[in-house]
Chain A
Amino acid sequence: MNHGSTRGERSNNRVARSSHHEPVERVRGMLDQLPEAAARIQQITANLAVTFERSGFRPVHVPVVEFSELFLRKSGADVVSKMYAFTDHGGRRIALRPELTAPVARLYVNNAHQFTLPARLWYSGPAFRYEKPQRGRYRQFTQMGVELLGAPPGLADAELIALACAGLDRLGITDYRIVIGHLGVVLGMLAAFDLETRMRAAVLQALEGLKKSPESAISTRRWLEGLVGLDTDRPAAEGPEEFNEEVHALLATMDRPQAVKLVRSLLGTLRTELGGGRDPDEIVDRLLQRLSRTGDAARLDRAVRFVTDLAALAGPKEQALPATEALLRQYGVPLQPLEEFQQVCEELDAFGMDWSRVTVDLSLGRGLQYYTGPVFEIYCSSLGAESQLCGGGRYDGLVRDLGGRDDVPALGFSYGLERLALVTVDTPRTAAANNTALVVALHPSARAQAVRAAETLRDVGIRAELDVLGHGRRQALEHARRTGRSMCALIGEPEIAAKHARLRWLGTGEEVTVPLERLAEHALKGSA
């Protein structure tokens, strides 16, 4: 299977020039799919669609282009920083969708009155991220998945995990393992430790980095500290001189109205204009708040230690659950998400979950900011570094965040189709689909009859292709053989008047002359 990544990357090295002779190359990180690969994707799509439809999901299509705002709201740093975002001719800030959950949730919000909850929706389509291209990772990729809107936690979470597995089973993929977690545990910790909004987002973003390897943990930690300003937290020479450390220390000792008064009069004396597009009161407020904020370092440190300890407990359910409970008690983190998680596990038993392929990891982060509850990922053991086939989870706040009027508990998952294509075994085609015929008019006057012959073959499910090159008999047979047709229908001058066609099986060389109306019947019989 040639995914052509090497060539694609190479090709980027040549900017398309205006000369006629320079080939226009494929854009870097994009993937061409030749018929074989495209057919495979189509087959996977059809199989998964059946799986989804049988569980009551209905298809929806959402646009490739959305307002950037849609993803800025909740999709999270990792996705947003890789967005193909631009301003269109009307000055709108738009983006090629980097994922499909937010657009589908938006579709629901915009059309809420047309849905009865719970709404079961499935989708399939391309998404775009400006990633560094590598094997199994392209800048355009295809996501196919489901969203279940209006389903409270519990049974629905188990159903979707089971459905994701059922889809893989239907595709004949067997060597996969599942990682299940619950983001509520980490979210509960962030709230319990009183981390401020941005630090919470940063820790969520850092989850994967903190547990990958010891080196990665160190660098991720340093990044986190820089991100929340622990390395540059003290005002000094580079700040305005009138606000040196002594002033800061002094301000910190005053009560608020006094402090505001002092700052204002100080600035008035120095003729520094507050503002720059911001409200002066807000600036003074934030300054005083900023000065009174202490203990960020300790809080962050505790959060990182918790995440590291939590990640170390990942393992089989029987061991991970009790150990996690002990850890939560030790850190004073709410137990409720864990209880919810246990309930999902119990529900999963009803679906016959094979626990031997499941890892419980309550530090699983997923990299998207909107998840709130149970989350899961499915990996294929036979793929290399980029081995994730599927991922999803619960995002109870998203509909509200996108402007929905009600809180709609919701969850979903999606597969990466290109990854599935790497591990899917082709199922044998049906006999009719294997039958391919080349229909040849050996004389210009035989064309109408050839067209009809092709149509009768197509009617019975045979893939019939008209010869458009005006081949003679020998050339036609040679061409049909070379392109792997199973038969060739030839109509020459003698056949026109009689309304016949000569049907030749390329495998055996057997040839019969048959009336046009019985052509399909013979074609089917001969191939059987």
Chain B
Amino acid sequence: VTHDTHDVLRFAIPSKGRIAEPVQAFLASCGLAVSRPNPRQYAATIPTCPVVSVLFAHAEEIPGKVREGTVDVGMTGLDKLYESGEEDDERAQVIFSDLGIGRARIVLGVPEGWIDAWSVADLADLAVQYRDRGRDLRVSTDFPNITRSFLHRHGIHAFELLPTEGAVESAPSLGLADLVSTLLETGTSFRENRLKVLRGGTILATETCCIANCWNSSRLADVPRASTRSSRTYGGVLLTLWHATFGSVPRSRASRVPPSPACMAHPATLVTGMPQPWSYRPSG
């Protein structure tokens, strides 16, 4: 089935990395299993929902694509969303983020041997001490923007960010940095590299979120924010995606959306909660 590109919901999901698998599993549990005939291709489909065209992309690229409008909706981490845009950038709006997948924290970690430092305030003291000795704290991080604003907000101004990709945690033991700011999921990597988390050092509690382009924010305001329970359902996700894209399209255009016997009822059907033609699969 081919669709006019305007009538297709362009939906980006992570191609690899920490949340790629869980996102696909989540979609499958909603009855939206992604079919990617060739794992080398970036385009895919959701057979149960032909009006959605799936694009595989790097999780960190997805917020940008949603903001500029090359995709309508995307799933990525809150960390990637906040890292990639200005704080007051409202072009990409979080539709829901309480899926319970991909949960982790971005934290400040210092060497265990720094027994004189257990809070962010200690770190601020150390930054001043370092400065008095003519150097700045070096922070190895894969989240430079979030980290920068966190440190400034906490009165730490003299520091050098060392943007690092991968193996951020090993930088202090290699003598490349004094401390790290990175994702903490299980804590194994921190333990192995003899790092400890500072009190008050949680920069961001992140999890997987669904974001939509908000070229028409008034329209998004009408989208019923999916609650935890409903967002775990096919209907909840689809309703939200559908609204975000076609919610207020003129009737004439809405009617051009190809009728899809299997999955796509007219939006009005979704809104009024009339019986839906797909099977309802709660997922635990």
Nearest CB to that of B64 among chain A residues? A15
CB contacts between A and B, total, < 8 Å: 114
- Structural contact, A81 and B115, CB atoms closer than 8 A: no
CB distance from A293 to the nearest CB of B (A): 10
**Chain A residue contacts of B157, Cβ below 8 A:** 72, 77, 80-81
Nearest CB to that of A198 among chain B residues? B128
CB distance from B220 to the nearest CB of A (A): 14
- Structural contact, B113 and A243, CB atoms closer than 8 A: no
B82 within 8 Å of A (CB atoms): no
B14 within 8 Å of A (CB atoms): no
**Chain A residue contacts of B131, Cβ below 8 A:** 72
**Chain B residue contacts of A236, Cβ below 8 A:** 199
- Which residues in window 1-27 of B have CB below 8 A to A? none
> Provided the pairs A15-B67, A240-B115, A272-B115 are in contact, do residues A198 and B136 lie with their beta carbons within 8 angstroms?
no
Q: Kindly supply a per-residue 1/0 record for chain B positions 129-143, scoring 1 wherever the CB is within 8 Å of any chain A CB and 0 otherwise.
A: 101000010000000
User: Which of these, A226, A227, A290, contacts B116 with CB under 8 Å?
Assistant: A290
**Chain B residue contacts of A231, Cβ below 8 A:** 200
**Chain B residue contacts of A94, Cβ below 8 A:** none
**Chain A residue contacts of B152, Cβ below 8 A:** 77, 80-81
**Chain B residue contacts of A275, Cβ below 8 A:** 111, 113
User: Which of these, A17, A229, A277, contacts B68 with CB under 8 Å?
Assistant: A17
Interface range for B: 35 or more
Nearest CB to that of B148 among chain A residues? A81
Bound form: Cα–Cα A229–B198 in Å: 12
- Structural contact, B136 and A72, CB atoms closer than 8 A: yes
CB distance from B45 to the nearest CB of A (A): 26
A283 within 8 Å of B (CB atoms): yes
User: Which of these, A14, A81, A202, A239, contacts B118 with CB under 8 Å?
Assistant: A239
> Provided the pairs A72-B158, A77-B155 are in contact, do residues A274 and B124 lie with their beta carbons within 8 angstroms?
no
User: Which of these, B88, B116, B119, B198, contacts A286 with CB under 8 Å?
Assistant: B116
A13 within 8 Å of B (CB atoms): yes
Nearest CB to that of B121 among chain A residues? A229
**Chain B residue contacts of A272, Cβ below 8 A:** 112-113, 115
- Which residues in window 152-173 of B have CB below 8 A to A? 152, 154-155, 157-158, 160, 172-173
Q: Kindly supply a per-residue 1/0 record for chain B positions 91-128, scoring 1 wherever the CB is within 8 Å of any chain A CB and 0 otherwise.
A: 10000000000000000001111111011111011001
- Structural contact, B112 and A277, CB atoms closer than 8 A: no
CB distance from A327 to the nearest CB of B (A): 27
**Chain B residue contacts of A240, Cβ below 8 A:** 112, 115, 196
- Structural contact, A243 and B115, CB atoms closer than 8 A: yes
B194 within 8 Å of A (CB atoms): yes
B175 within 8 Å of A (CB atoms): yes
A232 within 8 Å of B (CB atoms): yes
User: Which of these, B67, B154, B158, B178, contacts A227 with CB under 8 Å?
Assistant: B154
- Structural contact, A233 and B111, CB atoms closer than 8 A: no
A318 within 8 Å of B (CB atoms): no
CB distance from A245 to the nearest CB of B (A): 11
Known contacts A197-B128, A287-B115; 7 further A-B pairs (Cβ under 8 A): A198-B128, A228-B121, A229-B120, A232-B118, A243-B115, A276-B172, A278-B114
Would you give 19 A-B contacts (Cβ < 8 Å), ordered by A? A14-B68, A15-B64, A17-B68, A80-B152, A81-B152, A197-B128, A201-B128, A226-B154, A233-B119, A236-B199, A273-B194, A274-B113, A275-B111, A275-B113, A278-B113, A278-B114, A284-B115, A284-B116, A287-B115
The 5 A-B residue pairs with the shortest CB-CB distance, nearest first, are A229-B121, A276-B111, A81-B152, A287-B116, A239-B118
